[in-house]
Amino acid sequence: MKNIFITREIQAETIKTLRDKGYNITIGKKKTPLTQQEIIKEIKGKNYDAVITLLTDKIDGKVFDASPATKLFANYAVGYDNIDLVEATKRGISVTNTPGDYVDGVAQHAIALLLALMSRLVEADTFVRKGKYKGWDPMLFLGYKLKGKTVAVIGTGRIGEQVAYKLHCGFGTKIIYYDTVKNERIEKDCDAQLMTSLDEALSVADIISIHVPLLPSTHHLINKENLKKMKPSAYIINTSRGPVIDENALVYALKNGEIRGAGLDVYEFEPKLAKGLTKLKNTVLSPHIASAQFESREEMGRILAENVIDFFEDRIPRNKVNK
């Protein structure tokens, strides 16, 4: 019988699929991310054939040393930068990921953050819940319309492209974009215009939505200097990776009226937030949940189970990411 350890609770359906195959499943009890020491403690000497990991689990040589019997680390995530692939490959350990369709979900969440900000939904919701609503008031919680606004999409890959489509076709915004690669689809379908520089995009946009990967070249892509180039009426949305924005500089800009608001799903040092961020009313903050739709998670779980079953039935898992 195959023994599998899952570092934390995942979809019940996925666990059932694996148990139905006759695998013996042990699930970590902790509700928050495990430290590497905790992972090692859980798996050492247990002879697990496979370990199912999350993006927050740091897997490297120390973990491999602790459990030499484990020949599959199946990551329940699209990314796999939490696993030392070179070391895994060297030791003949397979690593898999779950590249499900998260694109529409993340695009939807970016737009949800934007709508919540522009309609001041979070502030208004708190006001009503606190019993402060005493009757219709023409000046109460005035927000702004999306129609006709200029949106700068920074990074027009899979997610950025969908944000452009949804905002242009659904809300009548003008789309400009900045990317190192030209996107002819949105130029044709959304009349999108490629800006020659990031500064140009930031200075003309009413809304800036960030969708670049985290790379050395995109670390602090949004910083103290270029925040000053944005319109004082600009909103910025980030669902990409936290370190793409200098978060302290963003707090300063929001506090001092350099820009109007920010919608964030990711943070520079998450789960820690920059000092002062939660005090600001002109922000909408979510805890890295842009891809947290039932449909996406179920698909990830299905892909994960397929990878594990393929591995144990001597097929190369479709989503094996190392040699």
Residue 136 CB, nearest approach to ligand NAD (Å): 37
How many beta carbons lie within 10 A of that of residue 176, not counting itself?
21
160 part of the interface to ligand NAD, by CB under 6 A: yes
75 part of the interface to ligand NAD, by CB under 6 A: no
100 part of the interface to ligand NAD, by CB under 6 A: no
262 part of the interface to ligand NAD, by CB under 6 A: no
Residue-wise burial string across 280-309, b where 16 or more C-beta atoms lie within 10 A, e elsewhere = eebbbebebebbebeebbebbbbbbbbbbb
Contact, 322 vs 87, CB < 8 A?
no
Start-to-end CA span in the chain (Å): 26
Stretch that binds ligand NAD, among 32-40, 120-128, 211-219, 271-279 (CB under 6 A): 211-219
Q: Which residue in the set 11, 14, 291, 296 belongs to the binding site for ligand NAD (CB under 6 A)?
A: 291
Residue 284 CB, nearest approach to ligand NAD (Å): 14
**Residue 158 annotated in active site:** no
Instruction: Tell me the site size for ligand NAD, rule CB under 6 A.
Output: 27
Contact, 322 vs 95, CB < 8 A?
yes
C-alpha span between 167 and 111 (Å, rounded) = 8
Residue showing the smallest CB distance to ligand NAD in the complex? 157
Alpha-carbon separation of residue 116 from 86, 130, 231, 267, 288 (angstroms): 43, 19, 20, 18, 16
290 part of the interface to ligand NAD, by CB under 6 A: yes
DSSP character at residue 231: -
Nearer to ligand NAD, 173 or 239 (CB): 239
* Active site residue ranges: 241, 270, 288
Sites of contact with ligand NAD (CB under 6 A): 102, 106, 155-160, 178-181, 211-215, 217-218, 239-241, 265-266, 288, 290-291
